[in-house]
Structure 1
Amino acid sequence: MPPPHPETWLRVTPEGLHCLPGGFTVDPVRPVERAVVTHGHADHARPGHRAVLATPETLAIMRARMGEGRAGESQQPIRPGEEVTHNGVRIRLAPAGHVLGSAQVCLEWKGSRVVVSGDYKRARDPTCAPFEPVPCDVFVTEATFGLPIFRHPPADGEVAKLLRSVALFPERTHVVGCYALGKCQRLIALLREAGWDRPIHLHGALMGLCRLYEELGVRLGDLRPATVAEKAALRGAIVLAPPSAVADRWARRLAEPVVAVASGWMRVRQRARLRGVELPLVISDHADWAELNRTVDEVGAPEVWVTHGRDDALIHAMAGRGIRGRALHLIGLGDDEEDAAPGGGGDAGEHAAAAEGATA
């Protein structure tokens, strides 16, 4: 008897992608009895589940963001490469390269293998383990940047652009909008690698997760709160803040701020202009168009399901290579600030914005 097709044992439900024989849901958007969570961003890691299985780092991030009592009544940590079996379904995690602790969920039942990627990137990140392709029968992928316009440049080149601007405008404060989990810590680590050994100042909303990263073994160097620093002390400094803060009154207290945002959405010129971004930095924690297609080819799955994002173009491109694509349209994924363009989430205008053109 051939292995069962994954459509017979993995179903889309209002809660998310549910494994019928295993009795658990991957990244559920509503409280469930059993959850397997790919990473700690709030559109994937929700509170109120009875039992949660994830990497130790993801569980620590969930506790930090939600509180101990809301991150799962029962928490089961497993590291990438370890394996557990639940109701006959083998569960293994593999690194996703998205943020610290992020993992792909590899499921096997009766000889059929599905890999659920969660969010992922293929670019190097000194703060987390790199993505590992896992051969499978069905690959379940995101497509946040699933349009040909999205080609992310090397992140170290964008950091060099930031440091050149700091050198050019030594009397001004460079304030960089970046998301609290993953992007902030990656940017700090890249700045350290580029030779920036001065203090980096942080908006208060970023401090807690940076402390947690350090507790989990990621060294970030001298970090200081921006809110208590004198204005004069911030001349020539780099300040990191949530994207929502760089354009509001909080940033006005800085010394002639150069407003920057680190995001894959900065590839779209219209986004940068509308948000008043003087220095767009194209640094993304998601796979770009080329990386999405490369990953699909590397895992070798004859069928690919797309959870969220720009699925039409990706499915069309895969069909040209003989790969069957299916859009799952999972509700709630990609709606968190971690995946949204600065100033708001994705909307119907994204395709128009992307068509308008990209930055150099």
Structure 2
Amino acid sequence: MSYPDVIKPEDLLCPRPAGLYCPPGDFYIDPVRPVDRAVVTHGHADHARAGHGVVAATPETLAIMAVRYGEDFAGRREPIPYGESFTRDGVSVTLVPAGHVLGSAQAVVRWKGLTMVVSGDYKRRRDPTCARFEPVPCDVFITEATFGLPVFRHPDDAGEIRSLLLSVAQFPDRCHLVGAYALGKAQRVIRLLREAGWDKTIYVHGALERLNALYEAHGVDLGPLAPATASGPKDAFAGQIVIAPPSAIADRWSRRFPDPVDCFASGWMRVRARARQRGVELPLILSDHADWDELTGTLDELRPGEVWITHGREEALERWCQLEGIPARALRLVGYEDEEGE
């Protein structure tokens, strides 16, 4: 692949210990340690960290960071709505939807005729809580590979929610306790339940309340919610659905519920051993990341000159690219955790 004016992709973006760095623009994308200037693709803690001098991100991501880290999480904020750009030393950066969580973005970086897209974390299927992924033609596409193995083919979301509601109907004397990560997954499960016709109050762990309120403030209607802390007999939660962070499921906090059916909403629930290890009675295969078909389908659609893989199951996706005649390399960036947001 020949690039404009013999520019190499590494001249525009290159991996460094702090993360993916842009030398001509002097900024990082999703740095894993504090830097002077950062572009942040979304609000999960493995991509969005406090302590940077300047953070450029979507307004939603900046609001999420303020909720998670406090209003002084950075020296200065630069809100960049979807479709808008900023230019620094000749480098243009545009943020477009990634479909991962509220405010998640791909960073489209352009310089001297070269276009590189840093996708961050993304998924291709519809999500009622965030803007849908927008493909952008590019010379280099930088992708995750969290579920970069052919075994990971996520089922239909609506079918997983039907399984949950069927279980609720079958066990009316039990509480269904759903483990879902606080940012993105919890709100998506709630919205999918609403779309499936569950209009009753959904009870939530206190750790979700501020993020739920933020989603509501950005136009995501979550319906009637209540804290899962009400005093009274255990059977008050019989037949109810409670959403909580996965860590709370194994905590003494969960003992307040009547014979709970432990559920976990995650793409990792495709692996039965993981469900057994967590003691999950009802696995719900709901992922906020692209599965194997979405990863390969995206690369087939874009047909970039090169593919860079940030983290995850790099080897299988790199091999797929080779078989398809697309040059690929694994960056093996350190600091991006498969579990965060999943």
TM above 0.5, yes or no, is yes
Amino acid at match of 1:147: L
Give the TM-score normalised by structure 1.
0.92
How is 1:112-131 mapped onto 2 (pairs within 5 angstroms)? 112-131=114-133
Amino acid at match of 1:79: P
Q: 1:287 aligned to 2:290? A: yes
Per-residue CA deviation, residues 160-188 of structure 1 (Å, 9 max, x unaligned), is 00000000001100000000000000000
Per-residue CA deviation, residues 96-118 of structure 1 (Å, 9 max, x unaligned), is 00000000000000000000000
Q: 1:65 aligned to 2:35? A: no
Q: 5+ unaligned residues in a row in structure 1: which ranges?
A: 340-360
Contact in 2 for aligned 1:3/1:110 (Cα 8 Å): no
Q: Write the distance in 2 (CA, Å) between the matches of 1:42 and 1:336.
A: 11
Q: Write the distance in 2 (CA, Å) between the matches of 1:28 and 1:67.
A: 19
**Larger mean Cα displacement after TM superposition, 290-299 or 99-108:** 290-299
Match in the other structure for 1:338: 341
Match in the other structure for 1:137: 139
Q: Write the distance in 2 (CA, Å) between the matches of 1:245 and 1:184.
A: 13
Tell me by how many angstroms 1:3 deviates.
Answer: 5.0
Contact in 2 for aligned 1:126/1:190 (Cα 8 Å): yes
- Give the secondary structure class of the aligned counterpart of 1:145: coil
- Structure 1 residues 6 and 132, CA gap change in structure 2 (3 angstroms): same
Tell me by how many angstroms 1:4 deviates.
Answer: 1.1
Contact in 2 for aligned 1:3/1:112 (Cα 8 Å): no
State the 4+ residue runs in structure 1 displaced beyond 6 angstroms.
Answer: none
Q: 2:207 aligns with which of 197, 205, 215?
A: 205
Contact in 1 for aligned 2:173/2:235 (Cα 8 Å): no
Identity of aligned residues (%): 62
Match in the other structure for 2:54: 51
Tell me by how many angstroms 1:337 deviates.
Answer: 3.2
Q: 2:304 aligns with which of 301, 304, 323?
A: 301
Q: How many residues end up aligned between the 2 structures? A: 338
Per-residue CA deviation, residues 103-158 of structure 1 (Å, 9 max, x unaligned), is 00000000000000000011110000000111100000000000110000011110
Q: Write the distance in 1 (CA, Å) between the matches of 2:24 and 2:116.
A: 14
Match in the other structure for 2:243: 240
- Give the secondary structure class of the aligned counterpart of 2:72: helix
Q: 1:76 aligned to 2:96? A: no
How is 1:140-219 mapped onto 2 (pairs within 5 angstroms)? 140-219=142-221
Q: 1:262 aligns with which of 265, 286, 291?
A: 265
Amino acid at match of 2:78: Q
Give the TM-score normalised by structure 2.
0.97
Q: Write the distance in 2 (CA, Å) between the matches of 1:141 and 1:311.
A: 10
Q: 2:29 aligns with which of 8, 22, 26?
A: 26
Amino acid at match of 1:90: S
Q: Write the distance in 2 (CA, Å) between the matches of 1:276 and 1:336.
A: 17
Tell me by how many angstroms 1:335 deviates.
Answer: 5.6
Contact in 2 for aligned 1:264/1:284 (Cα 8 Å): yes
Q: Write the distance in 2 (CA, Å) between the matches of 1:236 and 1:336.
A: 29
Match in the other structure for 2:95: 93
- Give the secondary structure class of the aligned counterpart of 1:69: coil
Contact in 2 for aligned 1:43/1:335 (Cα 8 Å): no
- Structure 1 residues 93 and 333, CA gap change in structure 2 (3 angstroms): same
Q: Write the distance in 2 (CA, Å) between the matches of 1:77 and 1:48.
A: 17
Amino acid at match of 1:111: G
Tell me by how many angstroms 1:248 deviates.
Answer: 2.4
Amino acid at match of 1:151: R
Q: Write the distance in 1 (CA, Å) between the matches of 2:240 and 2:231.
A: 11
Q: Write the distance in 2 (CA, Å) between the matches of 1:148 and 1:10.
A: 29
Q: Write the distance in 1 (CA, Å) between the matches of 2:5 and 2:39.
A: 27
CA-atom RMSD in angstroms: 1.0
Contact in 2 for aligned 1:43/1:336 (Cα 8 Å): no
Q: Write the distance in 1 (CA, Å) between the matches of 2:6 and 2:256.
A: 62
- Give the secondary structure class of the aligned counterpart of 2:328: strand
Amino acid at match of 2:245: P
Match in the other structure for 1:356: none
- Give the secondary structure class of the aligned counterpart of 1:280: strand
How is 1:8-27 mapped onto 2 (pairs within 5 angstroms)? 8-27=11-30
- Structure 1 residues 148 and 305, CA gap change in structure 2 (3 angstroms): same
- Give the secondary structure class of the aligned counterpart of 2:203: strand
Contact in 2 for aligned 1:175/1:238 (Cα 8 Å): yes
Q: Write the distance in 1 (CA, Å) between the matches of 2:338 and 2:322.
A: 27
How is 1:37-48 mapped onto 2 (pairs within 5 angstroms)? 37-48=40-51
Per-residue CA deviation, residues 5-59 of structure 1 (Å, 9 max, x unaligned), is 2112211111100000000000001111100000000000000001010000000
Q: 2:313 aligns with which of 305, 310, 314?
A: 310
Q: Write the distance in 1 (CA, Å) between the matches of 2:339 and 2:59.
A: 22
Contact in 1 for aligned 2:180/2:243 (Cα 8 Å): yes
